[in-house]
Structure 1
C-alpha cells in the first residue's frame, strides 16, 4: 500500500544557510568558504546535490576529509563529460538524417515523399504513428516546415528532408527502427554495421542525449534501458554484459560511428584526455573507481582508440 502523502513545508535557504547545513553534515570547508558560497550562488545546492551523495554515508553525512572541492571536481568532470558526448551525438544525429535522405529519397522506388506509403514500413500501425507525428510537427515553429506549408498545397505533407530536420533524435530513432527491413539494411550499409545493431545504438544514444541535455549525473550512471547491442566486429571494445549500461559502452558506440562519419574526427582524443582528468582523489573518498564508468582495462591502448 502506498504511503500517505504529506504537505511540503521546507523553506528556501540562502547559500550561507546551505553551507552551514553542509558543515553540520561533516563537510570540511575551512579553506574553501568563498569558493563554496560562489558555487552555491551560481551553480546551486540542488544541482550539486547529486554529486554530494556518493561522498556521503547512508545517513547523508559526509565521509571523513571530504572537502567542497571534491564535490566541485565531480560536478565539473561530469559537466565536461556531458558536453563531449553532446558534441558527438549532434554529429551522429545529422549523419543519420543524411543517410536516410541519401538512401531512400534518391531511390526511384521511394522518392522524396516515400514515407507517405505504408509499404516502406514494418507495419501499418508504425506508418500511421509516423504520419500523426509528422502532422504534429506542423506547429513546431520549424522555418523549413513553415516555408513548405506557406508555398505548396500538394503533396499535403513536406518532403522527407524537411520532415527529418524538424524531428528530435528520439523521433529519428523510432523512424529508423520502423522502416522496412530492406531499407534499414541499405541505410546501415553506409555505417558498416548490422541494422539491428544500429537500431539499438540510436536508441541508446537517444537516452544518453536526454541525460546530457537535462543535466543528469552521467559518470557513474547505469542506463540499463536501451543499452547498446554489441557489434561482433568490435566486441572486445565493449565492457562486460553487466556494465553495458555504463557510459563507456556508449563511448564505444560514439567512436565506432564517428570513425565512419569522419575518420579525421578528434573525438576519441578528447574523450581520452577527459577520462585522464578523472578526479581520482574525490573518487577515492567516495569509495569509487573507474569501474563506475564501465571502463575496460587498458582500453586507451587499444588500436580502436589510437
Structure 2
C-alpha cells in the first residue's frame, strides 16, 4: 500500500511532514485543529507553553515554546516575558514555574498530573530526617512538592545532582526522595549520601536483564539510561544522564542504533531531530505526563484553568531552595 501523504496546505503542513516518522498523517489530522487553536490563543493571551521532554510529539514539537528537562525548564521559566505560562508536564513542574514567576499566571492543564516521586515524601518526613541527622544538609530533587522544597536547603535535578551534593563541601548530605538517583550519585562522589526510599514508577521498572536482552536482540545498540534507573541498570548502560544529556549524547555521538531507557515519548521527540538514527523503543509510559493533551492545553488557555497558587510564606522558603540550585 502506498504511503498516505498529507496535502501540502495549511500553516502546519511542514510540521506535519517533519513529524510523520512518529505521527502518521491520519493521526496528525486529528491534532491539527487543536494545534492551530493553541497557537492563536498563545498570541492572543501573550502566553507560552513549557513542555517537558516526556510530552508527546504533537505537544513537544507542535505547540511548545520551550522544551527540555526539569533543569532547563526551571532556568528558562525565569526568562519568559509572557503573562501566562502553561506547563505541559506534571504538577511539581508547574509549582516550580510559579515559584520563579510569582507575578505571572501559571496554568497546569490537568491538576491530577502528579509524580510517584513527589508523592513518596512529605514535609514531615523531611523534618524527621533532619532530626535523625542534625546539621546534615538536605538536597531535594526537584521532583518534590513545594512543601518539601520549603523544608530543604537546596534543590537539584538529575543533570546537576552531583555538583549540588558536592557544593556544600561537607562529607555527608541527605538526598531525597529518589533512592536510585542518590545511589548513582554516591557512586560518583566521596560524599556520603543518606537516601530516601522513593522511586520513579517509570524508571524503576527497567532491569539489568532488560539491557542484556536489548543487546542480544539488537547487536551494536548503544544503551543510554536515566539516573533514576536502578544502579545495576546504569552499570550495564553505555551512558547515564538526564534527558537533556541523553539528547545531547545522541546529537554529538550519532550512534547508528540507540535505546533510551526512560519514558516513551523521549525517544519519539529525539527521533524527530535525527531521522537517520534507528531508535529502539522499550516503552515505559508515565501515566501522569500523559494526562496532558492538546485538548486540555487548549482548554487551559480558553478558561484560565487550572491556575497554580502557592501560599506566599511557603513560596518564599521553597524559592530559596530552587534559586540556590539555579545558582550552583
Fold conserved between structures, TM > 0.5: no
Structure showing the higher helix proportion among its residues = 1
Structure number with the higher strand fraction is 2
Higher-Rg member (1/2): 1
TM-score band (shorter)?
under 0.3
Question: What is the TM-score normalised by the length of structure 2?
Answer: 0.26
State the TM-score, normalized to the length of structure 1: 0.28
Which one has more relative contact order, counting CA pairs under 8 Å at least 6 apart?
2
